[in-house]
């Protein structure tokens, strides 16, 4: 009797995503390129998230689309620069595919968390998802043995989020920006990133 084995799927070029930092870069591009293509939209757009409507009042697509939608050109530009920074950090830290998977999972989770608080009338932007990425970078640096750098990074992230929250909740006006900042999304993204980075785990030390 022939042994039963699961078929192996061979996707041409998939090996590239196994290279350190490659899958992370792919997620960063998945955030940035559609946002750049879409350009600014209004808060009433179907791309936006509407937390007062709750989980039942928002389509499942709204778990993803807010990261691609931005209220103004300046809002979009700021998040594209931040996304570029996340991409560079992931490449420099040689983050493994599991870190990219954690970021991908934290993306919709961030928006689901926002739907639990109806104080935010509508949400557009990638800042929540980018904060999730920043949290994942810190956790992976810690688990890979670079704890001094990780500690500084995570402490800076926590201080930033707390400062953002001190400006106001769920949104705040920040000098120099032409659209309100969703401070609540920064908290939601950070919590999602920390959770999924911890959930997926990583070896204590990884070869670099």
Q: pLDDT tens-digit profile of 48-78?
A: 999 999 988 999 999 999 999 999 999 999 9
**What is the pLDDT at residue 180?**
86
Distance separating alpha carbons of residues 53 and 115, to the nearest angstrom: 8
Provide the 10 A C-beta neighbour count for residue 57.
Answer: 11
Domain that includes residue 79, residue range: 17-39+73-200
**What pLDDT, on the 0 to 100 scale, is given for residue 7?**
45
| Cα separation, 154 vs 151, whole angstroms | 5
For residue 161, tell me if it sits in a domain: yes
Both tokens of 140, joined, read 């992976």
Q: What would the pLDDT profile of 83-129 be if each residue is shown by its tens digit? A: 999 999 999 999 999 999 999 999 999 999 999 888 889 999 999 99
> To the nearest whole number, what is the mean pLDDT of the chain?
88
Record the pTM: 0.87
| Domain assignment of residue 47, yes or no | no
- The 10s digit of each residue's pLDDT in 123-178 is 999 999 999 999 999 999 999 888 999 999 999 999 999 999 988 888 887 777 78
Does residue 178 form part of some domain? yes
CA distances from 173 to 69, 73, 164, 169, 195 (A): 19, 17, 10, 10, 28
Number of neighbouring beta carbons within 10 Å of residue 186: 24
Residue 9 counted as domain residue: no
Structural domains in the chain (count): 1
In a domain, 98, yes or no: yes
Are 187 and 165 in contact, with CB atoms under 8 Å apart? yes
Residue 180 located in a structural domain: yes
Q: Is residue 12 included in any domain, yes or no? A: no
For the chain, the residue count is: 208
73 vs 78: CA distance, rounded Å = 9
In a domain, 181, yes or no: yes
Task: Look at residue 27 in the predicted model and tell me its pLDDT.
Answer: 97
pLDDT band at 15 (very low <50, low <70, confident <90, very high): low
- Cβ-count burial 61-79 (b if 16+ within 10 Å, e if not): ebbbbbbbbbbeeebbebb
């Amino acid at each position: 009797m022939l042994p039963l084995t699961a078929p192996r799927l061979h996707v041409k070029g998939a090996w590239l995503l196994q290279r350190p930092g490659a899958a992370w870069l792919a997620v960063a591009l998945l955030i940035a390129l559609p946002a750049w293509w879409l350009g600014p939209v209004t808060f009433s757009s179907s791309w936006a998230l509407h937390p007062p409507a709750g989980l039942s009042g928002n389509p499942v697509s709204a778990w993803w689309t807010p990261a691609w939608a931005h209220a103004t050109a300046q809002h979009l530009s700021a998040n594209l620069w931040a996304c570029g920074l996340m991409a560079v950090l992931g490449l420099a830290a040689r983050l493994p595919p599991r870190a990219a998977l954690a970021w991908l999972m934290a993306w919709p989770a961030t928006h689901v968390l926002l739907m639990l608080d109806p104080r935010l009338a509508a949400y557009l932007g990638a800042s929540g998802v980018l904060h999730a990425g920043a949290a994942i970078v810190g956790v992976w640096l810690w688990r890979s043995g670079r704890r001094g750098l990780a500690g500084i990074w995570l402490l800076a992230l926590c201080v930033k989020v707390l400062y953002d929250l001190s400006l106001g909740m769920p949104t705040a006006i920040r000098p120099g920006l032409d659209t309100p900042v969703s401070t609540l999304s920064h908290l939601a993204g950070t919590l999602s990133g920390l959770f999924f980075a911890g959930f997926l785990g990583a070896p204590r030390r990884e070869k670099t």
